[in-house]
Structure 1
């Protein structure tokens, strides 16, 4: 089927929404249609629209759409802040633990990574699963940052061998996803457990899923994707020892719970629960159970109790 939808100016789109049954205050709606865009705002109104007739349910008002949009925008900001603190701590802990055991250029040692077999190939083609991709990423990022980072510039101007800066310098370059993959591919279970224990997680297999989920969520937030109504394709695994079990739920509540658990192990970490409480209070007309999957008794659920008695981690 050929695409045939025409471009609509903001005024025309507003008239179309009115014809479809939405109540609109032009003075509040037009700035959003002009600056945010109708397609993006549609993510906050389609739930009130009949998928066949395109008519809106009775009572639908564009001001309600704005409330949902602004709530989601503030939630992204709070999430970005929490994930930033988690990311910085994760990469520091990984760098410190591996540098302690394997030296500051541990990422250049093939033997510390698991071997993986490409699908459909014989065992003679097995290779270190993360070594080449990680080194490629390090080289690319060092090259990209050689004139932008004083740490990288200083190292390259001062030292000839090794050709790459030490772990604590490349920490400023690599993405959260790269650190997540590096942790996943560590061959030494003892190293992985030493790292995960800094975050009060005894099972490295669980912590692998948490880091993966955090890196994916961080990318969603960085690219301004919606969080309300999210059904993530990547979710953190259950950690039964702490009572964190989520069944088949893929809502934002799952990730939010694990974020809170991890934040509780970071000294001077973000006040994640307080941020959410304040946000929910400002938008108390919205149903957080429908929008985010937060149950009515979420404050009493495992992972949300006070973390005041938890000893803070050290990144040393």
Structure 2
């Protein structure tokens, strides 16, 4: 790796850490094809040398680019999370103020069936975590409720304010199929199970951002279900594109689709595109590594 300013490189390594930065220079390492001794199949072996032209400023630029990207992504996820809280509260509230505590209005696998070897149902475990958050909460709304209604549990429209994205997506998966489908339909999906997969995907992305991990070209662990061709026209350009559907681009496209429902006037898509144009230029990596199709900027989704 070309390091023209040794002092700056040492300072960056001391501030950021060798292994955090190494995630950004990993794709720049040379590789060779070998035969795996265990399977007898071809495999790629990553070497310790870098490809020609690799320099430290490019690596640092990718790190800063990814840091700013995480901030933009968290902005979208915050809006989506708040909207989802409200949608769940309004829908469940039709079943009763404490519907989130009532096993009879939730999915049986969540509220009435124990996992093998478990003492409590998933619903009971979820409620325990919620109640603990409420007891420990220092938020004004929680303190007010505890002072005024000391013998009561908070109703659904208060309880949702205590849920982070993970707990929210977990609860969505525990709602009845009919209620899941009702919320999913708002985003153009006919099946709640597909929307559940979307939420799992976005929750993983949120966790990556919250823990300051590399985001931009990381494969999606929880991969979203892709709608049928024509169901959501803005996503049709990824139909059959397995690489695009399993990398960051898929999550960004889903966020953009959801924001068009939650906040149609949002400039988030434009801000994202403008930031992506600042990716450090280099001959080895491009946005294609993160699943971006060749002509993605011309798609109606980003207009």
Measured in 1, the distance between the counterparts of 2:254 and 2:161 equals: 25
Measured in 2, the distance between the counterparts of 1:198 and 1:115 equals: 24
Which residue in the other structure is 1:32 paired with? 12
Measured in 1, the distance between the counterparts of 2:280 and 2:223 equals: 27
Measured in 2, the distance between the counterparts of 1:199 and 1:76 equals: 24
Which residue in the other structure is 1:310 paired with? none
More strand by percentage = 2
Pair 1:79 & 2:68 matched: no
Cα deviation, residue 85, structure 1: 0.6
Aligned residues: 276
126 and 197 in structure 1: CA distance in 2 versus 1, 3 angstrom threshold: farther
RMSD across aligned C-alpha pairs, in angstroms?
A: 2.4
Which residue in the other structure is 1:260 paired with? 256
Measured in 1, the distance between the counterparts of 2:297 and 2:16 equals: 34
Which residue in the other structure is 1:177 paired with? 166
Gaps of 5+ in 1: 1-20, 307-316
Given candidates 103, 109, 127, the residue that maps to 1:110 is 103
> Is the 1:229–1:291 Cα contact (8 Å) retained in structure 2?
yes
Which residue in the other structure is 1:314 paired with? none
TM-score, normalised on structure 2? 0.83
Partner SS state of residue 55, structure 1: strand
Moved over 4 A (4+): 117-121
Measured in 2, the distance between the counterparts of 1:191 and 1:53 equals: 51
Pair 1:70 & 2:50 matched: no
207 and 126 in structure 1: CA distance in 2 versus 1, 3 angstrom threshold: farther
TM-score, normalised on structure 1? 0.79
Measured in 1, the distance between the counterparts of 2:287 and 2:151 equals: 56
Measured in 2, the distance between the counterparts of 1:138 and 1:261 equals: 30
Measured in 2, the distance between the counterparts of 1:265 and 1:176 equals: 18
Measured in 2, the distance between the counterparts of 1:293 and 1:140 equals: 40
Measured in 2, the distance between the counterparts of 1:53 and 1:284 equals: 23
53 and 254 in structure 1: CA distance in 2 versus 1, 3 angstrom threshold: closer
Cα deviation, residue 73, structure 1: 0.7
1:142-157 residue pairs with structure 2 within 5 A?
A: 142-145=134-137, 148-157=138-147
Cα deviation, residue 268, structure 1: 5.6
Which residue in the other structure is 1:166 paired with? 155
More displaced stretch, 246-255 vs 82-91 = 246-255
Cα deviation, residue 53, structure 1: 4.9
226 and 184 in structure 1: CA distance in 2 versus 1, 3 angstrom threshold: same
